[in-house]
Structure 1
């Protein structure tokens, strides 16, 4: 009887943490990071503040967004330098995780990356550190299953990119430079480093000259940034356009399939760089 009671008690102790995790409402500032958190810990209730199809570069808070922040048990955000629209609200939020500084500290090493990098979810070499920060600060279990999937994706992608590093490309938005640096890919130029500012005529001419020379295998275009400028860059040129979405807009958070999102990015790069 004592043995049975001990087993029941142990079972209850194992179940209670998962129940407490499931009851936590976690609000993540941007959609792709929310997808990552949900994929690592499917038991959490995760939502994003910035909608999936909207760029965080031009986001502004509405009253309904402020209520979401106040009602969340924990808010995960990138930090004041990257998301200044959240600074005032975060000053009143006791349970929060600020990733931009914490990730660098968790890595315990100097990194070539700017620790104010706004696209942390696109850094293959710091993704594990990012998850470790969240795990430790929220008291979560290690996301073992996710990490195994991630390791397999990383191995496969390194092999797939091994013969494609000599071909250049142009990105519309400077979101993928951590990805490019990690895999040793050849990004010739970007159309804009800051989508909030207009692109100068001189730079448009420079990018168009690269495209006209044939040095770029493609130009990556994003659903959040398209229009007349893209037409001006490519009009009259036989340039391959490859759609790529760094914000994982087509992946619902509840699907918990961040690895599928990463796999899709790998395939889009291969589509550009393959003959």
Structure 2
């Protein structure tokens, strides 16, 4: 009898623990959630190895959402394939729809802001990253008030670490121009004193046009330019832009273990690319 009782108690606590799952859609937000929940719980990453733009949903994804007590996602603008599952789900909270982050409009390949659009890479702005951290702390504190102090302690520690890291790069100096293969880095610009001078394509999966390559060459702000690009960009897609300093970067922070470390790596890569282009 005692063994049966022990088994039932274990099953009960296991089910309660599973029912309290915090599920986070994409990797950068998951990394922030890890910072906020450390020592309390372990969040679940919904879209492992997927960016949010291109999503393949499986029964396991649907079960994770069903079993969660809270699902945090960026929103339809970033993760359109999740819209049907999450838009009417009372347990799902969209960061982009919450009003807690400062957003910027998308830009075309020549840097012109596009009306009624939003650039969804909001986590790259240190201020937004900190806001997201405190937002997660507030949401989980409502669900588990006994851990409120711990959640907010973690959020404050994350904020301090994030701001100290960003401050290292935010030094007074001349604003430097850069190119992007695909415009995904504008939330870094204020922190790194950068100015967007154009992109090769609106869509990272679509090759740049001859006209756009000509435009970039004709309007280049400096002789050698830094080009930030996703790792899959091939030389034949940008070799006509030489002289350039090419830097492969990953704004989705794939494979990273902590948010601040991933942000710092991206900032260092970008900073070095711009400095090398000036030489």
Q: TM-score range by the shorter chain?
A: 0.7 to 0.9
Match of 1:86 in 2: 82
**TM-score between the two structures when normalised by the length of structure 2:** 0.74
Deviation per residue, 1:193-239 (Å, 9 max, x gap): 3336554442233235556x85443211222x423xx4232158342
Match of 1:128 in 2: 130
Aligned residue for 2:61, secondary structure, equals helix
Alpha-carbon shift at residue 66 of structure 1 (Å): 2.0
**Which of 104, 117, 120 pairs up with 1:113?**
104
Counterpart of 2:225 in structure 1 is 217
| Of 43, 47, 56, the match for 1:46 | 43
Q: Distance in 2 between matches of 1:205 and 1:269?
A: 24
Shift of the alpha carbon at 1:171? 1.1
Which string of whole-angstrom CA distances, capped at 9 and with x for unpartnered residues, describes residues 108-131 of structure 1?
xxx562484311211223222222
The correspondence for 1:174, drawn from 173, 183, 191, is 183
185, 188, 203: which one aligns with 1:194? 203
Query: CA, structure 1 residues 204+137, in 2 after alignment: closer, same or farther (shift >3 Å)?
Result: same
Distance 1:73 1:216, change over 3 A: farther
Question: 1:152 aligned to 2:156?
Answer: no
CA deviations over 1:39-82 (Å, ceiling 9, x no partner)? 23223312322233x43322232333222222333211111233
**2:261 aligned counterpart, secondary structure:** helix
Give aligned pairs, total. 239
Q: 1:48 to 1:215 in 2, by over 3 A?
A: farther
Q: 2:57 is matched with which residue?
A: 61
Q: CA RMSD in A?
A: 2.9
**SS where residue 226 of structure 2 aligns?**
strand
**Please, which runs of 5 or more residues in structure 1 have no aligned partner?**
1-19
Query: SS where residue 55 of structure 1 aligns?
Result: coil
TM-score normalised over the length of structure 1? 0.75
CA–CA distance in 1 between the matches of 2:212 and 2:119?
Answer: 23
After superposing the two structures, state which structure 1 stretch, 80-89 or 114-123, moved more: 114-123
Report the 3-state secondary structure (helix = DSSP H, G, I; strand = E; otherwise coil) of the residue aligned with 1:61.
coil
SS in 2 for 1:245: coil
1:99-157 deviation per Cα after TM superposition (whole angstroms, max 9, x unaligned): 0021x3x46xxx56248431121122322222222222221421122122112112212
Extract unaligned runs of 5+ from structure 2.
Answer: 1-15, 106-116, 142-147
Residues 186/93 of structure 1: CA separation in 2 closer, same or farther (3 Å cut)? same
Local SS of the residue matching 2:200: strand
Aligned position for 1:242? 247
Tell me if structure 2 keeps the 8 A contact 1:23–1:45. Answer: no
